[in-house]
């Protein structure tokens, strides 16, 4: 089955801790994206990558970092610099034919 | 300033009736539009798309209408079913933006009552 997987489903972060959210796709898509969703708001773009070893900041990149060492994987690290990390995080990918395919999401909570 | 607006945060419709979800945009460069459906604690799933060369696209119970001069699109669901209860996001992008991100609206929560 082709698709996008995100893990974990729920993640708890302590103050000052970095945490990494996983995103893997086996759709052979070149482009991958990370979004954040907060209640009452649309999805906001954090980072995106159009090709391996290359990525660009989105609208709200501060406090986040990414890597794209493999085509299939685009992990997102929420650093201690992100002061308000509690949100629902969505990973997506596409092949440049505009339609994006989304993963199931990770809910991040701060202890 | 929101480039994609969905002015109704919520909508309730009786089962079997038509659901109409509206979306307005401000950027005249937008040329490609999508609707996503999202259940709680899940990622959005793609529903239907439309590009500016069309004014209507139909897929089963779902039809999207585009009025470029008014910068308005709408999603019609006929007949509505309880399983359609979800949040619906409108998204827009310039057509020539290879692999680029989309601008999403804030979503409309649809409740279909049995």
pLDDT in tens, B37-78: 888 766 777 788 888 888 999 999 999 999 999 999 999 999
Say whether B93 and A98 touch across the interface (CB within 8 A). yes
Task: Name the residue facing B43 among A48, A50, A103 (closest C-beta).
Answer: A103
pLDDT in tens, B69-108: 999 999 999 999 999 999 999 988 876 444 455 788 889 9
Q: Which three-class secondary structure state does DSSP give residue B83?
A: helix
Name every chain A residue with its beta carbon within 8 A of the beta carbon of B89: 42-43
Residues in chain B closer than 8 A to A49 (CB atoms) = none
> Which pLDDT score is estimated for B22?
98
Residue B2 pLDDT: 74
List Cβ<8 Å contacts ≥24 apart for B15-19.
B15/B79, B15/B80, B15/B81, B15/B82, B15/B112, B15/B113, B15/B114, B16/B79, B16/B80, B17/B79, B17/B80, B18/B76, B18/B77, B18/B78, B18/B79, B18/B80, B19/B75, B19/B76, B19/B77, B19/B78, B19/B80, B19/B84, B19/B110, B19/B112
Could you state, in chain order, the average pLDDT of each consecutive group of 10 residues for chain A (111 residues)? 86 90 94 83 82 89 96 96 90 76 88 81
A48, closest residue in chain B (CA to CA): B101
Min distance A84 CA to chain B CA atoms (Å): 19
């Amino acid at each position: 089955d082709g698709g996008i997987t995100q893990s974990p489903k729920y993640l708890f972060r302590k103050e000052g801790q970095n945490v990494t959210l996983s995103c893997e796709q086996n759709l052979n898509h070149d482009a991958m994206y990370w979004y954040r969703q907060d209640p009452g708001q649309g999805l906001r773009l954090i980072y995106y990558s159009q090709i391996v070893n290359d990525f660009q900041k989105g609208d709200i990149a501060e406090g986040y970092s990414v890597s794209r060492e493999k085509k299939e994987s685009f992990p997102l690290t929420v650093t201690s610099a992100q002061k308000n990390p509690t949100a629902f995080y969505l990973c997506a990918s596409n092949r440049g034919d505009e339609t994006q395919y989304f993963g199931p999401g990770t809910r991040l909570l701060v202890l | 300033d929101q480039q994609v607006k969905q002015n109704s945060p919520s909508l309730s419709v009786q089962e079997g009736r038509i659901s109409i979800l509206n979306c307005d945009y401000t950027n005249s460069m937008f040329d490609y539009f999508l609707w996503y459906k999202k259940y709680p604690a899940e990622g959005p799933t793609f529903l239907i798309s439309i590009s500016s060369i069309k004014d209507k696209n139909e897929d089963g119970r779902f039809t999207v209408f585009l009025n470029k001069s008014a910068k308005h699109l709408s999603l019609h669901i006929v007949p509505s079913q309880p399983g359609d209860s979800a949040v619906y996001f409108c998204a827009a992008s310039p057509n020539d933006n290879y692999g680029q991100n989309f601008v999403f609206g804030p979503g409309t929560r649809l409740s279909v009552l049995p």
